[in-house]
């Protein structure tokens, strides 16, 4: 991991923002608690609204009770085929949570991978970051490698790149290229900014080339690399920066600072 720190929230922030994040009250409500002298930092009442504290170093209390802060954690999992991208499954199938059993935080997946799709799956307890990764506005590339039946023509690939109607909705522009050809199959790389359900499979089906094997290889510049199937690694600040190489969302700039 080198110098990339996985401890992302060790920083000072305004008290009202911290209290809001911890769910004590809304930002406005937290300001009222501060003004009323009900908030203490390291045992001393703080009534100043601009006061900053560090939830990892400082003890913050509200009416004498300790305020607890959830530690934000970001994980890249190499999902094997046959695992459901959920944290529980009524049908009792293997779930991605089984592969993260030694992480105490409750994480959720950032976008789904189908049961039979493998590869990069970002898991976190940070809803803001998850929304930013999934929102087309931030243009986070999701890169897939797909073995498809046959040899799509240049013309067909151009249709995929420009946008193709699947279930009545036009897909956003994509990048598609051929990586390899063998016997009667082609290995394609396809880069999307969006994540409609079974999108890659549906896009190739729309040009009559069925996907026979699908793997997500990257979010932005954050690549799976040599991470073994079924294994995960905890991400640090530099990893998160790689996800947002184009546009870093304002809401998460503070964790990347
Ligand atoms: N597109 C698909 O078809 N399946 C996935 O799991 C992800 C993207």
User: What's the mean pLDDT in 171-181?
Assistant: 96
Q: Is the CB of 200 under 6 A from ligand 1?
A: yes
Residue by residue, DSSP assigns 158-202 as HHHHH--EETTEEPPP-EEEEEEEETTEEEEEEEES---TTHHHH
β-sheet bridge partners, residue 122: 76
Which H or E run contains 82? none
Give the whole-number percent of the chain exceeding pLDDT 70.
91
Query: pLDDT digits over 86-122, tens only?
Result: 888 899 999 999 999 999 888 999 989 999 999 999 9
The residue that leads in pLDDT, 26 or 156, is 156
Q: Is the CB of 113 under 6 A from ligand 1?
A: yes
Q: Which atom of ligand 1 is nearest to the CA of 144?
A: 8
Counts for the chain of helices (H) and strands (E), in that order: 7, 17
Q: Which residue has the tokens 């990347």?
A: 256
Threshold 0.85, pTM exceeds = no
Ligand 1 atom 6: residue of nearest CA: 113
Residue by residue, DSSP assigns 51-116 as -EE-TTTS-EEETTEEPP-PPP-EEEEEEPTT-BSSS--TT---BGGGGGTT--S--EESS---TT
At residue 255 the predicted structure's pLDDT band, cuts being 50, 70 and 90, is low
- Residues catalogued as catalytic: 114
For the cut 50, the answer to whether the pLDDT of residue 148 exceeds it is: yes
C-alpha span between 238 and 118 (Å, rounded)? 24
C-alpha span between 168 and 164 (Å, rounded)? 9
C-alpha span between 257 and 13 (Å, rounded)? 12
Domains of the chain: 13-66 (3.10.290.10), 74-136+226-256 (3.30.70.580), 141-219 (3.30.70.1560)
Residues 183, 218 contacting (CB under 8 angstroms): no
- The closest of 45, 58, 73, 47 to 18, measured between CA atoms, is 58
Q: How many CB atoms lie within 10 A of CB 246?
A: 12
Q: Which atom of ligand 1 is nearest to the CA of 198?
A: 3
């Amino acid at each position: 991991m080198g110098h990339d720190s996985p401890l992302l929230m060790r920083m000072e922030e305004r008290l009202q923002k911290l209290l809001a994040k911890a769910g004590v009250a809304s930002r406005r409500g937290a300001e009222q608690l501060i003004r009323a002298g009900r908030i203490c930092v390291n045992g001393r009442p703080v009534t100043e609204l601009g006061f900053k504290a560090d939830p990892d170093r400082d003890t913050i209390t509200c009416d004498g009770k300790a305020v607890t802060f959830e530690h934000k954690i970001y994980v890249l999992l190499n999902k094997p085929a046959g695992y459901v991208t959920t944290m529980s499954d009524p049908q009792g199938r293997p779930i991605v949570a089984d592969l993260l059993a030694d992480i105490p935080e409750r994480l959720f997946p950032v976008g789904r991978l189908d049961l039979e799709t493998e590869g990069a799956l970002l898991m976190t307890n940070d809803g803001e970051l998850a929304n930013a990764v999934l929102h087309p506005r931030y243009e986070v590339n999701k890169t897939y490698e797909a073995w498809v039946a046959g040899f799509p023509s240049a013309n067909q690939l151009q249709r995929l790149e420009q946008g193709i109607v699947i279930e009545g909705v036009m897909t956003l522009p994509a990048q598609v290229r051929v990586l390899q050809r063998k016997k009667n199959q082609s290995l394609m790389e396809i880069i999307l900014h969006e994540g409609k359900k079974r999108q890659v499979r549906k896009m190739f089906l729309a040009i009559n080339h069925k996907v026979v094997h699908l793997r997500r290889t990257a979010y932005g510049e954050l690549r799976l690399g040599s991470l073994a199937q079924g294994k995960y690694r905890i991400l640090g600040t530099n990893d998160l920066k790689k996800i947002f190489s184009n546009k870093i969302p304002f809401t998460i700039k503070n964790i990347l600072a």
